[in-house]
Structure 1
Amino acid sequence: MLVLLSRQALLFFYVILLAVIMLLHQALPLWYSAILLLLLLYRWPLQQSSSKVNKLKRINIIAALILLLLLISIRQSGVFHFMIQILLLSVTCRLVLIRQRHDSHQLLWVLYFLLACCFIFYQSILVSLLILALLLLTLYSHYQLYASKQHQLQLLQLGKAILITLPIWISLFLLFPRLQPLWRIPTAEAAVTGLADSLDPGSIENLVQSDKLAFRAIFSGSLPPRQQLYWRAKVYEDFDGRSWNVNQRFDRRQPGSRQSANPNIEQTVSYQIIAEVSNQRSLFALGMPVQYANSVRPASAYLVEARRPVSQRLSYQLVSELQAIPQDIALEQQLNSRTVSANPKTKVLAAELVANAGSTAGLIEQISEMFRQQPYFYSLNPPRLGDNSIDAFLFDSRTGFCSHYASATAVLLREAGVPARVVGGYQGGVWHEEQQYLEVRQREAHAWVEYYANNGWQRFDPTAVIAPERVLDGLDAALSADEQNQLQASWRRFSAFNYINQQLLHLDYYWSVWVLGFDESQQLNLWQQLKAAGKLLALLGSLLVAALLLWWFLRLQRQPPKFAAPVLLIRRYFGKVLVNKPAGQHFSQFIAELKTHNAANTTLLGKIDSLYQRAVYADDQQALLLLEQHLKQNAKTLAKLNWPEKQASAR
């Protein structure tokens, strides 16, 4: 017999699919998401058609057209995203046509797979809990569709099973070897967040208006001074007169350790970075990295990069020396001494400055004095600049953000014959004392200068000259009240929301460190600690006990009940007077005898006896349900049934 799909099950499927579409929006073009939603809305008018064949034809034609559009755009979306799009299309078409219960088999299993795919795009604890809730809703829908109607979901037994399997699951998570994936997901062309490979006037000020998290840092020792927290991410060496770009020189260095010529233990810092998704390889490091984790590798200009674009939250360990950056390749000075014909006024100014400076240090001091004494201003909203942007900034607007000052300083140094380049990254961060980690957001994005002197690339931050509070106290301290309001979202002006949001971020941090950050190296350390402490046998014993408890629980579940369901009901509600029933007496005889002592309840007892006989000897499930209902409704009356004390004592 065909069973129609219930409205509740259909509603659950709609909720789950809509949530999956929202979660997987990164893999879906906007037009495709809109088409899926329109298809779901199309279900109602489609149901008005009387012919099932016509419905199927219409949906097949629509699906074929959508598939053709997806094939045309596959080069933009990527193979993996294309696979997800095909699965979503199949689920949506199935949900539009589904009417009967047996049609939901494929729908359920594809939903399970799509929910698992959501973990590829998200690692935060809140989204993970949302995905888990959707998975539980899918499991509940599965149960409601195919479980026997006579058996209700036993939450107590389910809770016991979860408690029994929880220690086994935790032990497997901690001790089971981390296996490398058998296949890798192709990288799709996705939007890049964070610093780009090109830097022009306006790049940094646009980025700092985002309050998104860039990364977190955990230090093995004490926190370095804020003036040392310059997180290098990009080095810009190519200048075209307006914009700076990353030079695509090839770095032949192999992954491993780099050693400095004059190591200084006091200037060495060990730390862990938890980087957020950026869909690019560039990572963050202080000073000169000398030791690397396996998940990262050294890049040109003593930067650090991931082995593949960061499409998931990434944790890595570094050891850095907070000193000048050594020369990386022989042509590095020549590469960073190139000038262009643009900005003629800046070239003249550089000649004047170098004439008054006796050394590179003197030239840096001359530039600092110029920014300090002349009317230059630090602003989040500088005026737009023309083609000769450096001339326009230095001689006309004199108002800019960190990228304006860094770019102008690097050009002045190059025109004066000093190799210089612009470095993009992040400066500072918010330190959380109780949780012991540094939180760095996109709003901490910064640009500064590195110039070559004394056999190394020295850091010079012109922003620290024009607005020292930016480096010492953070970006907000260097901005006006209006500019601070511009950066602050309206909901952040409420202290309660800020507090809740910060607590959620702390929770997400612990999730990242303890769960997402638990990799092969930490697992190996755990094994070594267990072996050294002699706790491995105790842990295995605990696993054995847990396995035995699980076996006992499953064996107990397979055993048939000692009494039939009708007998259990009678024992529950007649327990007070049932002790007076002789062992060999038939239940109907006992009821007849009970009627003689409770004349007011004769009809009730007769009805119970009739339903009991049908449920026990005719295996009538409807009678069993009516018996249970009858007993529940008259529980108080049954509890007051009389039995003569003398007769009871005689028995």
Structure 2
Amino acid sequence: MLSRQVILSFCFILVAIIGLLQQALPLWYSAILLLLLLYRWPLQQSSPKVNKLKRINIVAALILLLLLISLKQSGIFHFMLQILLLSAVSRLVLIRQRHDSHQLLWVLYFLLACCFIFYQSIVISLFILALLLFTLYNHYQLYASKQHRVQLLQLGKALLLTLPIWLALFLLFPRLQPLWRIPTAESAITGLADTLDPGSIEKLVQSDTLAFRAIFNGPLPSRQQLYWRAKVYEDFDGRSWTVNQRFERNQARGPVTGNSETDPLIRYQIIAEVSNQRSLFSLGEPLQFANTVRPAAAYLVEARRPVSQRLSYQLTSVLTAIPEDNATEQRLNLRTASANPKTAALARQLAASADSATALIEQISTLFRQQPYYYSLNPPRLGNNSIDAFLFDTRTGFCSHYASATAVLLREAGIPARVVGGYQGGVWHEEQQYLEVRQREAHAWIEYFADGRWQYFDPTAVIAPERVIAGLDAVLSADEQNQLQANWRRFSAFNYLGQQLLHLDYYWSVWVLGFDDSQQYNLWQQLKAASKILAMLGALLLIVIILWYWQRYQRQPAKYAVPVQLMQRHLAGVISYKPAGQHLSQFITVLKGHNPAQASLLDELDGLYQRALFADNQQALAQLTLLLKRNSKTLAKLNWPD
């Protein structure tokens, strides 16, 4: 009968796995699994085993039917995990004997391994590893002898011996493509969506979730240059901006036009967090790409598949105006909607006194500076003619309000314009040498076509220049800053601990998760170049090890006498059950009681053993050696009850 402690341990492990695999489980399914685990205790005291099995089979069949109905939404991989969880929970509800736990343990091992697919942060990875070790400990407690405890010293030595093998496999074993792809949701988990309307950026910046990290191979650009492009919105319906379908078709972009001789190159690495989107982040005009990403329309960068795991990629960019993508791009970004008539009239008025796009931009900037416009995280709600309501009534908005109004004014004046969504700035960590960009740095600005290129303009920098120079907190009121800051972050100790964990997770991402096939190839090339030196060092190390072992085993006297060593070697299958301090002859007497068929053989061995050990009889020692060799197979089959 399994103890209550073991059952509770299995329940804890399963509840933790259900929590970790929430991405693959519908909410109703998780609730049913938890109810089944709670049902374990009243069921144990109720009807016979046959009736219990029938009940659980009926419940499992109904749950399986519901899972099959929702198979199209969840996907095959998630469905497989759901079935495994259902089998594990059902098994735990019925389990009573030790031998019934075999299947449950192996299913738990597989589920814990699958958890590593969904999570890559070091904190959660350590938690999954702790669950794995806890499962191993319960496995050991179930099947090891009660007289044996976990030998921590021996376990530590074994880990130290296998550590070089782990490192060698990690560094040198070929990086294989995954056997399956994780299904992704239709909508983004985090980040900018394909639709931008008044209020969307404000909601996003209230999240303190990490968006990506950036590492620069050179000096850090100024904060005013850190405009991370992620989305380009070109379709406008009078209220909302939407990504045009040409981006969804992954239309090839125009040729690279940046001049690396006159424009300074910026080389950097991005470590993007999970977003379930293809859209990635880049500065200016990207010129060179890593294999994991590809160019998209409007000189954006995208992943080859939705980012369902942390993704590292390298780029080289020039901070210049964006070139024209194709011949239809200007016409596409001149379209206006039959809405916001006041804005259209204002645009015609401004255009009448402006002889160029640059002059019109200056007039719009003057309008924002001289009129009572305000920057706020909580602007008033707008109606259908949202641009008219913002420009002439509320005059209070966030970056998306100002970017949208500016783009509409330019289009109504005959200047091609579009809204760009991405991130601005970030927090630079000098000691660790990386830039941290969170969702709260989400930002919107515009690009207008002039002088043969898409020039960027940020109307927020006109209304609230501190937003670009010093960050979002510099332009928010105290109440708005408290709105963005979680309660626990107001304690400096928690802030410090969280930041240290973030730095640790950064090193984990760079050194472990970021070790891809290209870095492994470079490592192989370095090893090949230094092969002669490594061979000499390896041979020298081997000679040192051989000499050390020879000195240790040749000069050190034997710990036990020869008869004792012989008996321990041939009784290795049962000698571990001998209590400390018990004489070997006494142990043989106990062993005869458990193996009556070999009692005469054990008596003969005991007699020869005592004569060889205590009388120093060499003839008895020779007979003992011969007898042990002849009966080695029989001695290996000796039994000891659990």
Shorter-chain TM-score above 0.5: yes
Superposed, 1:15-34 pairs within 5 Å as 15-34=12-31
| Structure 2 Cα separation of the partners of residues 545 and 167 of structure 1 | 19
Superposed, 1:305-454 pairs within 5 Å as 305-454=302-451
Letter in 2 for 1:208: V
| Structure 1 Cα separation of the partners of residues 195 and 544 of structure 2 | 57
Partner of 1:207: 204
Deviation of the 1:533 alpha carbon: 3.5
Superposed, 1:60-459 pairs within 5 Å as 60-189=57-186, 191-249=188-246, 250-253=249-252, 259-260=256-257, 262-264=259-261, 266-459=263-456
Contact 2:258 2:318 in 1 (8 A): no
Q: Percent identity?
A: 75
Q: Secondary structure at the match of 1:342?
A: coil
| Structure 1 Cα separation of the partners of residues 543 and 134 of structure 2 | 32
| Structure 2 Cα separation of the partners of residues 426 and 541 of structure 1 | 54
| Structure 2 Cα separation of the partners of residues 539 and 64 of structure 1 | 63
Q: Secondary structure at the match of 1:149?
A: coil
Deviation of the 1:148 alpha carbon: 3.0
| Structure 2 Cα separation of the partners of residues 49 and 441 of structure 1 | 54
Residues 6 and 360 (structure 1), Cα distance of their counterparts in 2 relative to 1, 3 Å cut: same
| Structure 2 Cα separation of the partners of residues 31 and 58 of structure 1 | 20
Q: Secondary structure at the match of 2:287?
A: strand
Residues 186 and 483 (structure 1), Cα distance of their counterparts in 2 relative to 1, 3 Å cut: closer
Letter in 1 for 2:591: D
Letter in 2 for 1:537: A
Residues 67 and 150 (structure 1), Cα distance of their counterparts in 2 relative to 1, 3 Å cut: same
Q: Secondary structure at the match of 1:218?
A: strand
CA offset digits 1:58-84 (Å, max 9, x no partner): 001111111111122222222211111
Letter in 2 for 1:169: W
Partner of 2:590: 618
Deviation of the 1:619 alpha carbon: 2.4
| Structure 1 Cα separation of the partners of residues 505 and 10 of structure 2 | 29
Deviation of the 1:443 alpha carbon: 0.1
Contact 2:258 2:285 in 1 (8 A): no
Letter in 2 for 1:39: L
Contact 2:279 2:301 in 1 (8 A): yes
Structure 2 unaligned residues grouped into runs of 5+? 551-558, 560-564, 595-642
Partner of 2:535: 537
Residues 162 and 26 (structure 1), Cα distance of their counterparts in 2 relative to 1, 3 Å cut: same
Superposed, 1:459-498 pairs within 5 Å as 459-498=456-495
| Structure 2 Cα separation of the partners of residues 548 and 6 of structure 1 | 49
Deviation of the 1:191 alpha carbon: 4.6
| Structure 2 Cα separation of the partners of residues 560 and 156 of structure 1 | 25
Letter in 1 for 2:366: E
Q: Secondary structure at the match of 1:407?
A: helix
| Structure 1 Cα separation of the partners of residues 105 and 235 of structure 2 | 54
Deviation of the 1:186 alpha carbon: 3.9
Residues 311 and 568 (structure 1), Cα distance of their counterparts in 2 relative to 1, 3 Å cut: closer
Q: Secondary structure at the match of 1:214?
A: strand
Contact 2:373 2:463 in 1 (8 A): yes
| Structure 2 Cα separation of the partners of residues 170 and 276 of structure 1 | 26
Letter in 2 for 1:231: W
| Structure 1 Cα separation of the partners of residues 223 and 175 of structure 2 | 37
Residues 144 and 190 (structure 1), Cα distance of their counterparts in 2 relative to 1, 3 Å cut: farther
| Structure 2 Cα separation of the partners of residues 146 and 511 of structure 1 | 36
Letter in 1 for 2:106: W
Superposed, 1:619-634 pairs within 5 Å as 619=591
Deviation of the 1:26 alpha carbon: 1.1
Tell me the TM-score normalized by structure 1: 0.84
Identify which range, 202-211 or 536-545, moves more after superposition. 536-545
Partner of 2:521: 524
Q: Secondary structure at the match of 1:271?
A: strand
Partner of 2:625: none
| Structure 1 Cα separation of the partners of residues 331 and 214 of structure 2 | 35
Partner of 1:646: none
Letter in 1 for 2:535: L
Partner of 2:553: none
Contact 1:236 1:247 in 2 (8 A): yes
Contact 1:264 1:321 in 2 (8 A): no
Residues 560 and 20 (structure 1), Cα distance of their counterparts in 2 relative to 1, 3 Å cut: farther
Letter in 1 for 2:252: R
Residues 356 and 47 (structure 1), Cα distance of their counterparts in 2 relative to 1, 3 Å cut: same
Letter in 2 for 1:387: N
Residues 546 and 308 (structure 1), Cα distance of their counterparts in 2 relative to 1, 3 Å cut: farther
Residues 70 and 613 (structure 1), Cα distance of their counterparts in 2 relative to 1, 3 Å cut: same
Letter in 1 for 2:19: M
Letter in 2 for 1:434: E
Q: Secondary structure at the match of 2:178?
A: coil
Contact 1:80 1:188 in 2 (8 A): no
Partner of 1:577: none
Deviation of the 1:518 alpha carbon: 0.2
Contact 1:427 1:445 in 2 (8 A): yes
Deviation of the 1:527 alpha carbon: 1.5
Q: Secondary structure at the match of 1:161?
A: helix
Deviation of the 1:153 alpha carbon: 2.1
Contact 1:168 1:546 in 2 (8 A): no
Residues 156 and 559 (structure 1), Cα distance of their counterparts in 2 relative to 1, 3 Å cut: farther
| Structure 1 Cα separation of the partners of residues 577 and 91 of structure 2 | 44
Q: Secondary structure at the match of 1:618?
A: helix
Deviation of the 1:529 alpha carbon: 1.9
Deviation of the 1:147 alpha carbon: 2.1
Root mean square deviation of aligned Cα:
2.9
Tell me the TM-score normalized by structure 2: 0.85
Count residues in correspondence. Answer: 576
Contact 1:287 1:323 in 2 (8 A): yes
Contact 1:115 1:135 in 2 (8 A): yes
